[in-house]
Amino acid sequence: MTVSGLTGNPCCLRIPLHDPKTLSRRFSVFLNAEKPKDSAKLLGVKRSHLAGSVQRCNIKETYLVKCAMDASYGGDMTNDRPVIFPRIHVRDPYKRLGISREASEDEIQAARRFLVNQYAGHKPSVDAIESAHDKIIMQKFYDRKNPKIDFKKKVREMKQSRFMQFVTSRFQTPSTNVIIKTAIAFLVLGALTFLFPTEEGPTLQVAISLIATIYFIHDRLKSKLRAFLYGAGSFIFAWLLGTFLMVSVIPPLPLVKGPRSFEVITSLITYALLWVSSTYLK
């Protein structure tokens, strides 16, 4: 029998009295059996709850340690195998590093450092990244030593210049009927000049080309002054440019023979430029 009441069985206590004449009295004391049981159950629940809390703390601590190790080693440690670089077999070094061909050296170095740190656990991946970086650096060095003319860039800069913008603003695309009509007229003049050269040169055909240019411009713009100025200016510019090309650029052509071959080819060039003026000038 325990006095603390942790057991639930009834017991008898002998308590001596202060009166010596009396013997001892037996008091039957019945202890409530339900309360100790409830206390034991409550204690067990508290102990179970405490054990569960400790287990959850251990799990959280393990998870935090795992996350810290993942962050330190730059990868996922759920598997023992390292992460493989997905573009390891890409042949283009720029695509392998994920940068454009116009990337600066700082961008190239930043891409290399990022990828090397991310895939440091896989040596073939690191080798592929370093190889792409070396190829790009060597190509940049070679381009600086042997500069190439970027024709696309030159053409783009020329189109963006004020002079070219002014020139292109003076032209417009007409209807298809106008293009066909002017093209047929100047093709006929060119055929007559080429097939029937004369000793005096293609003087008549050149004069007809000037009149045709003025007529076509007037037919589109409905202005006699502008038609005359545009026609005369186009004719002078076309003849001078054709002469310059024949003297400095274009070699003698074997197809055109005779004493007036120079004038014939110059006239053909002039017809082409006059066709552009009579068709597209605005």
Tens digit of pLDDT for each residue in 125-178? 999 999 999 999 998 888 888 777 777 777 888 878 888 888 888 888 899 999
Is residue 56 in a domain? yes
The model's pLDDT over 210-233, given as tens digits with 9 standing for 90+, comes to: 999 999 999 988 899 999 999 999
Same domain, 220 and 172: yes
Is 61 in contact with 67 (CB distance < 8 Å)? no
Q: pLDDT tens, 240-249? A: 998 888 888 7
**Both 182 and 245 in a single domain?**
yes
Q: Do 49 and 114 reside in the same domain of the chain?
A: no
Pick from 34, 17, 18: nearest CA to 26: 17
Q: How many domains does the chain have?
A: 3
Residues 176 and 275 in one domain: yes
Instruction: Kindly state whether residue 157 falls inside one of the protein's structural domains.
Output: no
Cα–Cα distance measured from residue 181 to residue 175, given in angstroms and rounded to the nearest whole number: 10
pTM over 0.75: no
Query: Does residue 198 share a domain with residue 120?
Result: no
> Pick from 69, 84, 113: which residue ends a domain?
69
Q: Which domain holds residue 17?
A: 11-69
Residue 82: inside a domain: no
Contacts 24+ apart (CB under 8 A), 204-209: 205/267, 206/239, 206/267, 206/270, 209/235, 209/267, 209/270, 209/271, 209/274
Q: Does the residue 247 lie in any domain?
A: yes
Judgement on whether residues 253 and 189 belong to the same structural domain of the protein: yes
Asked if 203 and 265 sit in the same domain, the reply is yes
pLDDT bucket at 258, cuts 50 / 70 / 90: low
At 162 the pLDDT is 85
Does residue 87 lie in a domain region? Answer: no
Is residue 241 in some structural domain?
A: yes
Let me know if residue 5 belongs to a domain: no
For the cut 70, the answer to whether the pLDDT of residue 42 exceeds it is no
**Digit-coded pLDDT (tens) for 74-129:** 444 445 678 899 999 999 999 999 999 888 889 999 999 999 999 988 999 999 99
Q: Tell me, yes or no, whether 115 and 215 share the same domain.
A: no
Q: Is residue 151 in a domain?
A: no
